[in-house]
Amino acid sequence: QVQLVESGGGLVQPGGSLKLSCAASGTIFSLYVMAWYRQAPGKQRESVARITSGGSTNYADSVKGRFTISRDNAKNTVYLQMNSLKPEDTAVYYCNAKRQYDYWGQGTQVTVSS
């Protein structure tokens, strides 16, 4: 069983930055593809960024150049650095671990508002 715990969400003004963290336990973290998803009110959950066990990354077009996903296998943690935040980035952000199965964290709220 994989446990994922997100942290780092909060309220930030447009143009600001936040760094989300997701700590994993109960598994060999380095073997998993890790990803961040988000879900805004009234919308479907969408993929934001993904990083493979080898460190390859990809991003949703809406966040390219602003968000950076990274992982520290020694700390069993994946990060999402979010810069130049926009009001449309407001959502609950979820951490995802995938190998044979999908595992999800409980989510952390990010609100971008002046």
- Summarised one tens digit per residue, pLDDT across range 45-66 is 999 999 999 999 999 999 999 9
How far, in Å, CA of 6 to CA of 15, rounded? Answer: 22
Contact criterion met (CB below 8 Å) for 37 and 6: no
Say which residue the tokens 């493979």 belong to. 52
Mean pLDDT for 10-34 is: 94
| Residue of 58, 17, 15, 54 whose CA lies nearest to 36 | 58
